[in-house]
Amino acid sequence: EDQVTQSPEALRLQEGESSSLNCSYTVSGLRGLFWYRQDPGKGPEFLFTLYSAGEEKEKERLKATLTKKESFLHITAPKPEDSATYLCAVRPDTDKLIFGTGTRLQVFP
């Protein structure tokens, strides 16, 4: 069964304290792994797509990496405005996205 698990469920960081969010998956025929950011009361906003193991993508303080079993979203020197829920999703060969339950990140000044 295709499955996506995100950890931790919630993460509290001090401003400037770097950390990583994890997305582990089991899927038949991975055709892409996606990271989204979701602010309270808003729709998810696209961040990254990764297609193959070893691929990395960066945007400001965020870097996403991919292995054959999991993806990490590294947050370097986070700021309070990085506070949000981060969602991971995978596209299997059925072409229907499967979403994880998200990691709620809070960054305190």
Partner 1 sequence: NAGVTQTPKFQVLKTGQSMTLQCAQDMNHEYMSWYRQDPGMGLRLIHYSVGAGITDQGEVPNGYNVSRSTTEDFPLRLLSAAPSQTSVYFCASKRGSTGELFFGEGSRLTVL
d(C-alpha 96, C-alpha 52), whole Å: 18
Provide the pairing of β-strand 103-108 with 10-14. parallel
d(C-alpha 2, C-alpha 11), whole Å: 25
Our finding on whether 32 is near partner 1 (CB under 8 A) is: yes
Q: Could you say which of 44, 64, 70, 73 contacts partner 1 (CB under 8 A)? A: 44
> 3-state DSSP call for residue 52?
coil
**66-105: contacts with partner 1 (CB under 8 A):** 87, 89, 95-102
Minimum Å gap between C-beta 53 and partner 1 is 19
Which parts of this chain interact with partner 1 (CB under 8 A)? 4, 31-32, 34, 41-46, 49, 87, 89, 95-102
